[in-house]
Amino acid sequence: MAKEITLRYGCNPHQTPARVFMSGGDLPLEVLNSAPGYINLLDALNSWQLVRELKAALGFPAAASFKHVSPSGVAVAAVPLNDTLKEIYAVAGRDLSPLAEAYARARGVDRMSSFGDWAALSDTVDLPTAKLLGREVSDGVIAPAYEPEALEILRKKKEGKYVVLRMDPVYEPEAMERREVFGITFEQRRNDRPVTRDDFKNIVTQKKELPESAIRDMVVAWITLKYTQSNSVCFVLDGQVIGVGAGPQSRIHCTRLAGTKADLWRLRQHPRVLSLPFREAIKRPDKDNATDQFLQPDVTEAEKATWGNVFTKVPAQLTSEEKRTWLDNMTGVVLGSDAFFPFRDSIDRAAQSGVKYVLQPGGSNRDDAVVRACDEYGMAMVFSGVRLFHH
């Protein structure tokens, strides 16, 4: 382990010099390949904490796909991938270990946002996971260890420029953390509070039942929100985040963003989308872009004119009624929020995306109105009492 790593530049190329270092002792991470950048390391250290905590809380291999210090996808290997998800995640016919399945879920849920991602993995990277990483457009990966054959694959990626980091799995930082902004040092106790089952006991709605699957998905939501730039909302199903809304200043805008992503994930499983007539040799990122555009409601004629380059024939888009019918079959979704809902509007939006369970801190002056909204939709809502802002 090194005491410091000199970086090419900071957040932007004109921000030089740049480095990471420890005030005492060696860094808890080792560069096994290439040279990480400033943003790479911000993504790496945030995503590592997320997957480490998920593995500790649930016991399943965990994976995260990060972009700009927020997850575009998170998953644990709690539920086997079905054939439809294998197809939309482009892993059908591949040998998948539990860790590889977790990353396939994390990467595949929002392939548009995950393009050029940073990957974090809770367990030793095995050969199936390395092969999956090897074919994706990705900047780097952090994990506690790598099998020799897996490391060899990753070292060849991007002509040897793929960043591979090994994190000391037993490293624990000091309780107090500091950072400097505009020459001023901020200090606080780091957010080391773990999630516990007691966080889900205060069910404030008429519906009181929380199946184990919902508690598991609330744990995934809780830990994901802890490492997502605020404001943040996420939708979770089967141990997998299916939509993240990170960064908007308004809670309803977070919910709309996350809900739209969850809806797109569901619509990608529609038989009409699965049978889109792609031309041979079309690359996966181009398929992802075309699929996303196909599912948008406001595609222009000029945009449609380009579809002939991707499809063998121009497909008819799904109607609003067809989309709504398909989305109405999605249910059992968990909605998590890093802070309270100030109005019922987020609950109304969540109901359109199959949400049946809600996790939030509570504490708004309008909590009663939000609870009533959940009761109207037959949702169970938990007040955790724990705000999860991350800046």
Q: Is 231 a catalytic residue?
A: yes
**Nearest Cα residue to 250 out of 234, 266, 232, 226:** 232
Output the DSSP codes for 281-310: T--HHHHHHHHHHHT-TT--HHHHHGGGGT
Residues ≥6 apart with Cβ < 8 Å to 39: 11, 68, 69
- Of 68, 131, 287, 304, the catalytic one is 68
Is 289 a residue of the active site?
A: no
Question: Is 226 an annotated catalytic residue?
Answer: no
Strands (E), the chain: 4-7, 18-21, 29-33, 62-67, 70-76, 117-121, 138-143, 163-167, 176-181, 184-189, 232-237, 240-246, 333-337, 355-360, 380-383
Instruction: Report the candidate in 335, 371, 370 with the shortest Cα–Cα distance to residue 352.
Output: 335
Out of 40, 55, 67, 157, which one is annotated catalytic? 67
Catalytic-labelled residue, pool 208, 283, 313, 391:
391
Catalytic residue among 226, 231, 270, 356, which? Answer: 231
Six-digit token string for 245 = 């809304």
Q: Which residues contact 376 (CB under 8 A, 6 or more apart)?
A: none
Q: What is the DSSP letter of 188?
A: E
How many C-beta atoms surround the C-beta of residue 289 within 10 A? 15
Return the closest-CA partner of residue 108 out of 354, 258, 288. 288
| Residues annotated catalytic, as ranges | 67-68, 231, 391
